[in-house]
């Protein structure tokens, strides 16, 4: 790994540690980190979990279908779109499974304490949680698709009432939304 990529990795590890997303560990699991360019010219640190995914029992929990979401929004007139901040990171990994997510850095071995991209069951696990948290709201006025939530209403008062219900549910379950999206 060249020096520029080491700096990117170290900065990312520092941020993840600061936000409590990872912690140092020891153990038999260790996966490689990969630094990939993003379309905006910055870089994303990911972990190659191919070997872990190969031995993981797959969770086939259903993912929301876009056509069904669009149908559920058809009777709305006004809409508010919300984006969950670092949505996967808001879902904790069971403590006994965290060590299985260990990844290698020049500074040592770290494991994730929250859900992360790259784990084969992450989408299903995330949708199971959002179905539990937003279940009735998803059916009536605020369907979700991964980290996006769209709230509908037939007039501004109904829309604001529906959105207030969504915000209350987010706060109760310790989810946060991106203020700029």
The pLDDT tens digits for 32-70 are: 999 998 888 889 999 999 999 999 999 999 988 999 999
C-beta contacts of 119-124 below 8 A and 24+ residues apart: 119/49, 119/52, 119/53, 119/56, 120/49, 120/53, 120/56, 120/58, 121/56, 121/58, 121/59, 122/88, 123/63, 124/59, 124/60, 124/61, 124/63
Those residues with Cβ within 8 angstroms of residue 133's Cβ, 6 or more apart along the chain or in another chain:
169, 173, 175
Q: What is the pLDDT of residue 86?
A: 87
Question: Residue 180's pLDDT band (boundaries 50, 70, 90)?
Answer: confident
Q: Looking at the predicted structure, is the pLDDT value of residue 172 above 80?
A: yes
The CATH superfamily label for domain 3-172 reads HIV Type 1 Reverse Transcriptase, subunit A, domain 1 (3.10.10.10)
Q: Where are the domains of the chain?
A: 3-172
The DSSP bridge pattern shows strands 108-112 and 33-37 to be unpaired
The pLDDT tens digits for 84-138 are: 988 899 899 999 999 999 999 999 999 999 999 999 999 999 999 999 998 899 8
In three-state secondary structure terms, 138 is helix
Q: What is the pLDDT of residue 29?
A: 96
Distance, in Å, from the CA atom of 81 to the CA atom of 142, rounded to the nearest integer, reads: 9
Q: What is the pLDDT of residue 1?
A: 76
- What tokens were used for 107? 């500074």
Question: Looking at the whole model, is its pTM more than 0.85?
Answer: no
In three-state secondary structure terms, 158 is helix
Mean pLDDT, residues 139-150 taken together: 90
Distance of CA 4 to the CA centre of its chain: 27
Q: What is the pLDDT of residue 165?
A: 95
Question: Residue 159's pLDDT band (boundaries 50, 70, 90)?
Answer: very high
Q: Looking at the predicted structure, is the pLDDT value of residue 28 above 80?
A: yes
Q: What is the pLDDT of residue 181?
A: 64
Q: What is the pLDDT of residue 2?
A: 86
Residue carrying the six token digits 């980290």: 147
Q: Which residue, among 176, 157, 152, has the nearest Cα to 70 in the 3D structure?
A: 152
Distance, in Å, from the CA atom of 57 to the CA atom of 85, rounded to the nearest integer, reads: 28
């Amino acid at each position: 790994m060249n020096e520029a990529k080491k700096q990117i990795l170290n900065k990312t590890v520092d941020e993840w540690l600061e936000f409590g997303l990872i912690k140092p560990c020891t153990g038999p699991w260790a996966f490689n980190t990969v630094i990939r360019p993003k379309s905006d010219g910055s870089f994303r640190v990911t972990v190659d979990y191919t070997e872990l995914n190969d031995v993981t029992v797959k969770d086939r929990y259903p993912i929301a279908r876009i056509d069904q979401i669009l149908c559920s929004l058809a009777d709305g007139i006004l809409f508010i779109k919300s984006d969950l901040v670092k949505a996967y990171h808001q879902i904790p990994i069971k403590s006994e499974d965290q060590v299985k997510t260990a990844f290698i850095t020049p500074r040592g071995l770290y494991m994730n304490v929250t859900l992360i991209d790259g784990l084969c069951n992450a989408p299903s696990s995330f949708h199971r949680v959002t179905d539990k948290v937003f279940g009735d709201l998803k059916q009536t006025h605020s369907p979700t698709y991964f980290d996006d939530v769209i709230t509908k209403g037939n007039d501004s008062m109904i829309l604001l009432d529906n959105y207030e219900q969504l915000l209350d549910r987010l706060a109760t379950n310790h989810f946060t939304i991106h203020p700029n999206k």
